Amino acid sequence: MYLYQTIVKELADYPLDYFVSPLRIGCVSLMLTKRCTNQCGHCCNYSSPQATEQIDLPLAEKIIEQAAGLKHYNIQIWGGEPFLHKNLFEVLACCLRHKLGVRLNTNAFWVSSPQVVRDFINKLKPLLAAAGVDLVFFVSCDKFHQQQPATPLENVVNFILALEEECAAGTTPVSYNIVSVKAREDTTIDELFSVLRKKIPDRISSIIKKINFVPIENSVGRAKTISSAEINYAPQGNALADLSQDITIYISAAGNIIFSENWIGDNIFPLGNIKEMSLPEAEKVLSGQRLFKLLQLHPAKYSFYPFRKYVDVLEITNSIASGRLKNTMIIRDRIAGLMQITEKQFDKSAELSQARQIYVDQPDIQTARKNLHSIDLYGDLSDLFYLKNLLRQTTDAVLRQDIQALLDTTYSY
Ligand code: SF4
């Protein structure tokens, strides 16, 4: 906590006036419906066929209009499964009327043949041509999705066949990405390619570039219950990745406006509800979340230890937003200097790596407690998964108590 306290002290002496430019919403991510054909074991937002929350057309149109008014350059439509929303086409048409690029997520349940996709794209073609913006599909493909009866692998194959044909023709501004949540021993992508190699061998190199693997560590929601045996350790993934001046704002199917840096933070920084708060108002509130500008001082560094605990992030952010902590361009530079110095002081990667042996070995109680302390000081969010697993395996009451105490003082999801 040394650095945290130092920064708080440094910031407290400066007036608010010259703080760096406000954050800007670059993308609005709209969960059109929470309902889904599936109930995937890793779903970050507990979607299911029974879920009922959805954004109705008039509200969706209002949101899109506000987003366009703020000159945001794209909008993401997702769910649940957006193709279950009865007004999906109207929503997309509204985005295109406002010349907003669209990113559209789907699990491909509706893709019973390549022709269904062609028909859908053909319907949108005139609107896309008039808008001059892109439509990018994000199709899910991994063992969690393909275990579900509504989304057999065949649907993903059909989807890719149709989209590759469109991409090769190059006449429509439509493209796609494959999103695959990565867990251990998942052969779904291999199976996908073995089918595609037979059907469209000349497109394989193009398709490979469209795969985005998402580590299971980055999932929240139902993924909390996934066995740690599924987890691939990803040392670089953490909550403060993907910092940029343009940020994404999420609107849930219940209308909650959520500001988060990435999926891990899905439930933090709720700003209000879109039924009561407009997007321009939300953007105004966001510009108070100045901590993220501070963190941008160090864009190359994904993980910065003193900020790793969300409680600290929330505390310092709220303090800055409320004016209790103050800042100027001058202090910004001073903090940048301070961070570089302290980063050296805080470079504990060797110690951390040693401490993480606790997940593999069964050290004596004293060594285990010492390692736990190092993890507490220098660990990142991935350690939460490993600590929870360790808690399940450990019988020693003292060690269990220590692990539980560590988990309790860290943002828990
Ligand atoms: S992960 Fe996607 S397909 Fe699966 S239940 Fe959630 S929203 Fe539906």
**What is the per-residue pLDDT across 390-412, written as a single tens digit (0 to 9) for each?**
888 888 898 898 888 887 765 43
Task: Look at ligand 1, atom 1, and give the residue with the nearest C-alpha.
Answer: 43
* Residue 200 pLDDT class (50, 70, 90 cuts): very high
Which residues are registered as beta bridge partners of 247? 25
CA of 250 to the centre of ligand 1 (A): 17
Residues 244 and 382 in one domain: no
More confident residue, 267 or 57: 57
For 64-90, letters b (16+ CB in 10 Å) and e give: bebbbebebebbbbbbbbbbbbebbee
Q: 161 exposed, middle or buried (CB, 10 Å; 0-12, 13-18, 19+)?
A: buried
CA of 175 to the centre of ligand 1 (A): 21
48 part of a folded domain? yes
Residues 279 and 292 in one domain: no
403 part of a folded domain? yes
In CATH, what number is assigned to the domain containing residue 130? 3.20.20.70
Task: Note the pLDDT tens digit of each residue in 300-338.
Answer: 333 333 333 333 444 444 455 555 444 333 344 444 454
Residues 205 and 244 in one domain: yes
Residues 165 and 310 in one domain: no
Q: Check if 47 has its Cβ closer than 6 Å to any atom of ligand 1.
A: yes
Residues 208 and 317 in one domain: no
Say which range, 203-207, 242-246, 350-354, 387-391, has the weakest mean pLDDT. 242-246
413 part of a folded domain? no
**Greatest mean pLDDT range, 77-81, 253-257, 333-337:** 77-81
355 part of a folded domain? yes
* Residue 30 pLDDT class (50, 70, 90 cuts): very high
* Residue 362 pLDDT class (50, 70, 90 cuts): confident
Residue 405 confidence (pLDDT): 81
69 part of a folded domain? yes
The DSSP output letter for 225 is G
Range of 313's domain?
2-20+288-345
* Residue 286 pLDDT class (50, 70, 90 cuts): low
Is the separation of the CB atoms in 32 and 54 below 8 Å?
Answer: yes
Atom of ligand 1 nearest to the CA of 38: 5
Task: Note the pLDDT tens digit of each residue in 217-242.
Answer: 545 677 767 766 666 544 333 333 33
More confident residue, 385 or 105: 105
Q: Check if 40 has its Cβ closer than 6 Å to any atom of ligand 1.
A: yes
Residues 184 and 231 in one domain: yes
More confident residue, 380 or 64: 64
| Residue matched to tokens 């303090």 | 319
Residues 74 and 115 in one domain: yes
- Helices 57-69 and 88-97, axial angle in degrees (round to 10): 20
177 part of a folded domain? yes
Which residue, of 328, 345, 362, is where some domain finishes?
Answer: 345
Residues 104 and 180 in one domain: yes
Residues 13 and 96 in one domain: no
Q: Check if 43 has its Cβ closer than 6 Å to any atom of ligand 1.
A: yes
- Helices 365-378 and 397-408, axial angle in degrees (round to 10): 10
Query: pTM of the prediction?
Result: 0.67
Q: Which of 32, 36, 53, 156 for a ligand 1 pocket mutation test, highest count of atoms within 8 Å of Cβ?
A: 36
Residue 410 confidence (pLDDT): 57
Residue 58 confidence (pLDDT): 97
Alpha-carbon span 56 to 54, nearest angstrom: 6
Q: Check if 79 has its Cβ closer than 6 Å to any atom of ligand 1.
A: yes
Task: Note the pLDDT tens digit of each residue in 125-145.
Answer: 999 999 999 999 999 999 999
Q: Which of 46, 77, 107, 178 for a ligand 1 pocket mutation test, highest count of atoms within 8 Å of Cβ?
A: 107
pLDDT over 70, % of the chain: 65
Residue 331 confidence (pLDDT): 41
379 part of a folded domain? yes
Q: Which of 145, 147, 181 for a ligand 1 pocket mutation test, highest count of atoms within 8 Å of Cβ?
A: 145
Residues 127 and 149 in one domain: yes
Number of structural domains, the chain? 3
Atom of ligand 1 nearest to the CA of 37: 8
Residues 312 and 222 in one domain: no
| Residue matched to tokens 């430019």 | 21
Residues 223 and 78 in one domain: yes
383 part of a folded domain? yes
For the chain, what's the residue count? 413
Task: Note the pLDDT tens digit of each residue in 150-182.
Answer: 999 999 999 999 999 999 998 889 999 999 887
Alpha-carbon span 150 to 38, nearest angstrom: 7
